[in-house]
Amino acid sequence: MNRDSRPFSVPPDFDEAREAYRKHSKPVKTVLIIAAALIVGVSAYYQIEPDQVGVLIRFGAFQSISEPGPHFKIPLIDTVLKVPAKRQLKKEFGFQTESAGVKSAFRRTTASQQESMMLTGDLNVAVVEWIVHYKIADPYQYLFKVRNVEGTLQALSEATMRAVVGDYSVTEVLTKGREEILEKARAYLAELCKRYETGIAIQRIELKDSAPPEPVKPSFNEVNQAEQERDRLQNEAWARYNQAIPKARGEANQMIQEAEGYAVERVNQARGESDRFLAIQKEYRLAPEVTRTRLYLETMNEVLPKAGKKVLMDESAKGIVPLLFPADGSPARATPAISGGGQ
């Protein structure tokens, strides 16, 4: 068959065009291969931030957990879910924070007001607003065990706080029982999160505000002021009691100690005199005359100084003059008087 008998005609420059296409198609293929490789490399690379962990999912099934840093995955097959497991999260109840800063702005909706209204143990109503601080401890449980973790946490937190507040009076909820309530609620909520396998670890519960409802707030404030006045008067009474009673007890103890000391002194003195008498009696039996004379002299030595100055006269004297002038006319030596010194 000759050229003219072909079903269609071929341009005379067809071979040249085909050769030119082959020459130019090689760079284009190279560029496409490089571009595809770059796309695959970019899609295979992923970065985990310092406050996150990555959960690698392959064909919809859990594969592994990636720590912070650069990692690679199989494009179009692997999926990475980034979970803020290194960061402390919080959930607010009874209010919503619109803007945080030096002067934070809060918003309270009808739904938030309903979740903050609680019945106390003494059948009163209190408005309790709180914040739950938590961390994602187990990313696998957080993603795969519970369908709606945030909704579950909200329901568990509200149920926990209502159960704990229901065991306390309104006065304890608003004043002195706040710390105990928060600690019990934290422990109970942590146990529930662990039981339901939410993967959440409760760090702490913060009580933002607790107050009576607005319609009864003035009456509650009056009652609170009356209770504070009562406590003040009781404290003043106890202060006076603590001043008077210890003083009286101290004086009573002092009198008791003085009486006991006087009793001991008298007993010891009596025992000493008794022992002295027994010793004298023993000496008297051995030498009656000497002992009698010694006792007499000792007694006179004690008695006469207390009697003042005395003049002793002889019983045979006729008068005072012979004492001063004897019969021979010489001055008589005066009889010594017994003075305070016993002379």
Percent of the chain with pLDDT over 70: 78
For residue 109, what pLDDT band results from cuts at 50, 70 and 90? confident
Of 65, 59, 49, nearest in space to 79 by CA? 59
Question: How confident is the model over 149-186, as pLDDT tens digits?
Answer: 999 999 999 999 999 999 999 888 888 888 999 999 99
For residue 31, what pLDDT band results from cuts at 50, 70 and 90? low
State the Cα torsion 184-188-191-195 to the nearest 10°.
Answer: 180
Question: Which tokens go with 152?
Answer: 């579950």
Question: What is the predicted pLDDT for the residue at 53?
Answer: 93
For residue 334, what pLDDT band results from cuts at 50, 70 and 90? very low
Mean pLDDT for the chain overall: 81
Question: How confident is the model over 66-101, as pLDDT tens digits?
Answer: 999 998 888 888 889 999 998 999 999 988 887 766
What is the reported pTM?
0.56
Asked if the model's pLDDT at residue 1 lies above 60, the reply is no
Alpha-carbon distances, residue 9 vs 4, 6, 12, 13, 19 (angstroms): 8, 7, 9, 12, 19
Tell me the average pLDDT across 217-222. Answer: 79
Per the CB < 8 A criterion, the answer to whether 116 and 128 are in contact is yes
Question: How confident is the model over 306-328, as pLDDT tens digits?
Answer: 777 766 666 776 655 554 444 45
Question: What is the predicted pLDDT for the residue at 340?
Answer: 39
Q: How many CB atoms are closer than 10 A to CB 162?
A: 15
Tell me the average pLDDT across 273-290. Answer: 84
